[in-house]
Amino acid sequence: MTRYIGKRLLLMIPVVLSVAVIIFTIMYFVPGDPAEIILGVTATQEELEACRESLGLNQPYLIRLGKFLEDLFLHFDFGTSYIDGTSVRTNIINRLPNTLIISLGSMLVAMVLGVSLGINAAIHQNGIADRISMLIALVGISMPGFWLALMLVLLFALKLNWLPSYGTGGIKYFILPWIAAALPEMARLARQSHSSMLEVIHSDYITTALAKGVKKRDVILRHALPNALIPIITVFGGGLAHGMGGALIIESVFSIPGLGLYIVNSINNRDYPSVQGTIVFFSILFSIIMLLVDLAYAAVDPRIKAAFSRSSVGHRKVG
CA dist 40 and 202 (Å) reads: 68
Do the beta carbons of residue 102 and residue 256 sit within 8 Å? Answer: yes
Residues β-bridged to residue 217: none
- Going by pLDDT thresholds of 50, 70 and 90, the confidence category of residue 302 is low
| Weakest mean pLDDT among 80-89, 105-114, 159-168, 301-310 | 301-310
CA separation for the pair 179, 142 (Å, rounded)? 15
Asked whether the beta carbons of 278 and 262 are under 8 A apart, the reply is: yes
Q: Spell out the residues 6+ positions from residue 165 whose beta carbon is closer than 8 angstroms to its own.
A: 153, 157, 158, 176, 254
Q: Any idea where the domains of the chain sit in the sequence?
A: 88-318
pLDDT tens for residues 46-102?
888 888 888 777 888 888 888 888 888 888 888 888 878 888 899 999 988 888 888
- In CATH terms, the fold of domain 88-318 is MetI-like fold (1.10.3720)
The 10s digit of each residue's pLDDT in 150-186 is: 888 888 888 888 888 777 777 888 888 888 888 888 8
